[in-house]
Structure 1
Amino acid sequence: MQAPTTPQATWSRSAERIMAAINRDPLTAPHALRNDALLAVSVAVVAAALALFVDDGRRPDALGWALLLVSHVPLVWRRRRPVLVLVAVITCVFPYHFLDYPHTAATQAAYVALYTVAVTGRPLRTVLVGIGVITMAVGVLLTISAQEALGLLKASGWVVAVLFCGVDVRFYRQYVASIVERAERAERTREEEARRRVAEERLRIARDLHDLLAHSITLIGVQTSVAAHVLSADPERLDRETVAKALDDIAETCRSARGELRTTLEVLREHGSPDARGPLPGLDGLPDLAEAARLAGARVEQTVRIRQAPPAVGAAAYRIVQEALTNAVRHAGPGPAVQVELAERQGVLHLSVRDDGTGPGRGGTPGFGLVGMRERARSVGGTLDAGPRTGGGFEVTAVLPLTTTGERDG
């Protein structure tokens, strides 16, 4: 059941319609021709009433009624050709005034035409039109009576008021249009920023998954090879302790990978803030990476001469060391010696991972590890270099600033 309409609600809707009509650009408003035709008819009715009941000239005859009513016809096209409409109205109004018909009745159409010129054109054109109309009107009335011309000159303040009102409304509409444009531009900017954040988040998750899975699968593969070698080396004297240790290492690697994978994918299930994420890996996780590489057969020496780093920088350093150790275990050959060094010098984190292995084969399929490491470094404003060492082996070096402009995930 529809609620009864209160006077306050009716007045509110009426006020909203009036403000919408004021704010709307007259050149692009819908149903302009129909509305202007209704306006012309309304103004003509008012003019006829004034001609009948206001005694400031002789009563109109057939010619006076014709000039008065015809002067309202051009108002139908006032938005399309405002200056031509004003000229047409003045062409009918001046003979009307010259023949001394009721002067008040013919001013309404002229005011509407003047307002339209002011509200649709530039201020300079409005000023020139106003001066021209006043000058022409005074000149015509001077041919009739100097007293009438002086009276019109005194009443020219109404012309100035109408022109000023039109210019003011025009500036107000431009102001409203600029506000709407800024709001739309801000909305587009927010949408673009949201899309950018989504793309960065997808890239972050892809990098995390690559680092995590590549590291874990590589360790599992090496540990499985150790168990298989022990089983096939001497079946008569099976070293059960070594096999059990290798299998325990595989299980521990799987558990660690499963936990980190769950943390990485939690962001995809998060229904709250897009920035709500689990704790980032940092420098405190480097000993676990070194231990995992040792279990895979690498001889890792780790030197860390930095106590604390911003979360984004710590996460980037963690992932770079993780990928570098993974590549060393995978490509450096059996039992490689790996040196991991992290040091702070002049507000910058210097990171290096060196091994003495043979390095990746030339015919191997290139992966995304080096690309991912460079993206990690670039995400916090740092740089990364990787390549074979002069004396043999492979080296990864990175320079990461410890003062970042924003908190960004690695």
Structure 2
Amino acid sequence: MQATTTTAPAPPPPTKATAAERPRLGERIVAAIHRDPLTAPHAVRNDAVLAVLLAVLATVLALVGDQGRRPDALGWTLLLAAHVPLVWRRRRPLLVLLCVLALVAPYHALDNNHVAPVAATMVPLYTIAATGPPRRTLCLGSLVICGTLLLNALTNPDGFVELLRITGWVVAVLVSGVDVRYYRQYVAAIVERAERAERTREEEARRRVAEERLRIARDLHDLLAHSITLIGVQTSVAAHVLAADPERLDRRTVAKALDDIADTCRTARGELRTTLEVLREHGAGDARGPLPGLDGVPDLVEAARLAGARVEHSGRFGAVPPAVGAAAYRIVQEALTNAVRHAGPEPFVRVDLRTENGALYLSVTDDGAGPDPDGAPGFGLVGMRERARSVGGTLDAGARAGGGFQVTATLPLTTPAPTAATIAEGTRTA
């Protein structure tokens, strides 16, 4: 019997998509330039690697340079020790520069190879210029140049060309550091503006969502409360006719009550479908459909009459903005619903609409007792007030001195834009 061996399948090679997700070398370099060196990750580790590389470079330059100026034991010690503080160049750039200069100065004074420690001196200079204020950079640059002049005058009085070269390197490094610093500030400002614009767009989107949710909540409440109230009243009428005298059944009255219920259900279903279509629309500019207006008030009056109320309607108004007309329609609808529900059997209701002094005035008055004060609070009166505020108007509702309940509203014909406070308050209520 032979043993069988199985080998684990080799891992799949990296796909093109995985390779494309990795940033390229140029992108990583640009990201490193844009990033603030004081907040960069792994700063000490990266600076330690940089210090080792610069120490290797300094060693190579000291070995291949002028043989007569090759460092001795003390020179090698000073040269390599000057690279150790570079590990902390981002945390304490000024202190690191002073430590490097304290080690490099005796190195040059001993007339060792002058090129080898240049990189170790320029790195903290660049760090100060790229992270510190320009005034400090200018002062330190001047001190370094003056110290270089003094040291060169003592050790190499005839090396004028070398003095110019060292001064040029110092100025170039400082200018590069300042330029990078301003460039990072410029990029940070662009990013901040983009983030601020994105936050503004998100806040605007949230505001629009809150406004739409509030509108849908109001429409659903007005629609369902009105329709369910009428259906309940009409069902009570049919039930009363059936129970009053079963032997002498008034089939015509029962059929009319059932037809009224069916008409109310069809109307409610159509309006509910229109509202739900708004929720299903994605990306449409405005899927609200036509707003209800004052031309629909007679239908509300007729529906209230079918529910048993005695309604008297008067209207004297001209052209009304669609938003104001829709608000007035919903206020009248809710007021009639409350009258049919709370005012008792066969209440008398008066609906008055008129335009005057640049505003639409409406009132709905009944002779009932109004809402039950001990009952559960609803959203009807709150919704009416929000409707009025949404177009910049006001609404008052309460019991009348002589009995009954009255709702009055003043809606300006010029509708202001909804404020954030109104939207937030309405969202909490809805």
Normalising by the residue count of structure 1, what TM-score does the alignment of the two structures yield?
Answer: 0.88
Per the alignment, residue 351 of structure 2 pairs with 340
Shift of residue 178 of structure 1? Answer: 3.0
Q: Deviations over 1:135-166 (max 9, x none)?
A: 22223333345554796367423312211211
From 60, 73, 87, give the equivalent of 2:84.
Answer: 73
Q: For residue 310 of structure 1, what is the amino acid of its counterpart?
A: P
Q: Do structure 1's residue 167 and structure 2's residue 185 form an aligned pair?
A: no
Q: Do structure 1's residue 302 and structure 2's residue 313 form an aligned pair?
A: yes
Per the alignment, residue 127 of structure 1 pairs with 138
Per the alignment, residue 112 of structure 2 pairs with 101
Per the alignment, residue 261 of structure 1 pairs with 272
Q: C-alpha separation between the residues in 2 aligned to 1:56 and 1:168?
A: 38
From 38, 46, 62, give the equivalent of 2:49.
Answer: 38
Q: For residue 133 of structure 2, what is the amino acid of its counterpart?
A: R
Per the alignment, residue 218 of structure 1 pairs with 229
Q: For residue 369 of structure 2, what is the amino acid of its counterpart?
A: T
Q: Residues 146-161 of structure 1 correspond to what in structure 2 (within 5 A)?
A: 146-148=157-159, 152=163, 155-161=166-172
Equivalent residues of 1:67, 1:93 under 8 A apart = yes
Q: C-alpha separation between the residues in 2 aligned to 1:298 and 1:275?
A: 37
Q: C-alpha separation between the residues in 2 aligned to 1:167 and 1:405?
A: 51
Report how many residues are paired: 407
Shift of residue 189 of structure 1? Answer: 4.2
Structure 2 unaligned blocks of 5 or more: 1-12
Q: Deviations over 1:159-217 (max 9, x none)?
A: 12211211221222223233333433444444444444444433333322221121112
Per the alignment, residue 289 of structure 1 pairs with 300
Change (3 A) 1:231 1:59: closer
Structure 1 unaligned blocks of 5 or more: none
With 230-239 and 378-387 compared, the bigger mean Cα shift is at 230-239
Per the alignment, residue 402 of structure 1 pairs with 413
Q: Do structure 1's residue 381 and structure 2's residue 392 form an aligned pair?
A: yes
Shift of residue 373 of structure 1? Answer: 0.8
Q: What secondary structure sits across from 1:326 in the alignment?
A: helix
Shift of residue 323 of structure 1? Answer: 0.3
Q: What secondary structure sits across from 2:52 in the alignment?
A: helix
Equivalent residues of 1:230, 1:242 under 8 A apart = yes
Equivalent residues of 1:74, 1:89 under 8 A apart = yes
Per the alignment, residue 143 of structure 1 pairs with 154
Per the alignment, residue 208 of structure 1 pairs with 219
Equivalent residues of 1:56, 1:104 under 8 A apart = no
Equivalent residues of 1:301, 1:338 under 8 A apart = yes
Q: For residue 59 of structure 2, what is the amino acid of its counterpart?
A: A
Change (3 A) 1:364 1:81: closer
Q: For residue 414 of structure 2, what is the amino acid of its counterpart?
A: T
Per the alignment, residue 93 of structure 2 pairs with 82
Per the alignment, residue 9 of structure 2 pairs with none
Equivalent residues of 1:215, 1:326 under 8 A apart = yes
Q: C-alpha separation between the residues in 1 aligned to 2:102 and 2:353?
A: 90
Change (3 A) 1:44 1:314: same
Q: What secondary structure sits across from 1:143 in the alignment?
A: helix
Q: C-alpha separation between the residues in 1 aligned to 2:378 and 2:124?
A: 75
With 108-117 and 188-197 compared, the bigger mean Cα shift is at 188-197
Equivalent residues of 2:362, 2:410 under 8 A apart = yes
Shift of residue 18 of structure 1? Answer: 1.0
With 361-370 and 122-131 compared, the bigger mean Cα shift is at 361-370
Q: C-alpha separation between the residues in 2 aligned to 1:103 and 1:56?
A: 12
Q: What secondary structure sits across from 2:57 in the alignment?
A: helix
Per the alignment, residue 8 of structure 2 pairs with none
Per the alignment, residue 17 of structure 1 pairs with 28
Q: Do structure 1's residue 228 and structure 2's residue 252 form an aligned pair?
A: no
Shift of residue 314 of structure 1? Answer: 2.5
With 164-173 and 15-24 compared, the bigger mean Cα shift is at 164-173
Q: What secondary structure sits across from 1:104 in the alignment?
A: coil
Equivalent residues of 2:235, 2:258 under 8 A apart = yes
Q: C-alpha separation between the residues in 2 aligned to 1:210 and 1:233?
A: 34
Normalising by the residue count of structure 2, what TM-score does the alignment of the two structures yield?
Answer: 0.84
Q: For residue 248 of structure 1, what is the amino acid of its counterpart?
A: D
State the superposition RMSD in angstroms: 3.1
Q: Residues 315-394 of structure 1 correspond to what in structure 2 (within 5 A)?
A: 315-394=326-405
Q: C-alpha separation between the residues in 2 aligned to 1:397 and 1:4?
A: 70
Equivalent residues of 1:317, 1:351 under 8 A apart = yes
Per the alignment, residue 121 of structure 2 pairs with 110
Q: C-alpha separation between the residues in 2 aligned to 1:319 and 1:366?
A: 19
From 245, 249, 252, give the equivalent of 2:263.
Answer: 252
Q: C-alpha separation between the residues in 2 aligned to 1:149 and 1:87?
A: 25
Q: C-alpha separation between the residues in 1 aligned to 2:302 and 2:142?
A: 91
Between the aligned residues of both structures, percent identity stands at 72
Q: For residue 356 of structure 1, what is the amino acid of its counterpart?
A: D
Q: C-alpha separation between the residues in 2 aligned to 1:32 and 1:154?
A: 31
Shift of residue 321 of structure 1? Answer: 0.8
Change (3 A) 1:3 1:220: closer
Equivalent residues of 1:111, 1:159 under 8 A apart = yes
Q: C-alpha separation between the residues in 2 aligned to 1:58 and 1:360?
A: 105
Q: What secondary structure sits across from 1:351 in the alignment?
A: strand
Change (3 A) 1:171 1:214: same
Q: C-alpha separation between the residues in 1 aligned to 2:278 and 2:112?
A: 82
Equivalent residues of 1:312, 1:407 under 8 A apart = no
Q: What secondary structure sits across from 2:291 in the alignment?
A: coil
Equivalent residues of 1:56, 1:103 under 8 A apart = no
Per the alignment, residue 40 of structure 2 pairs with 29
Shift of residue 361 of structure 1? Answer: 3.8
Q: For residue 174 of structure 1, what is the amino acid of its counterpart?
A: Q
Q: C-alpha separation between the residues in 2 aligned to 1:164 and 1:136?
A: 19
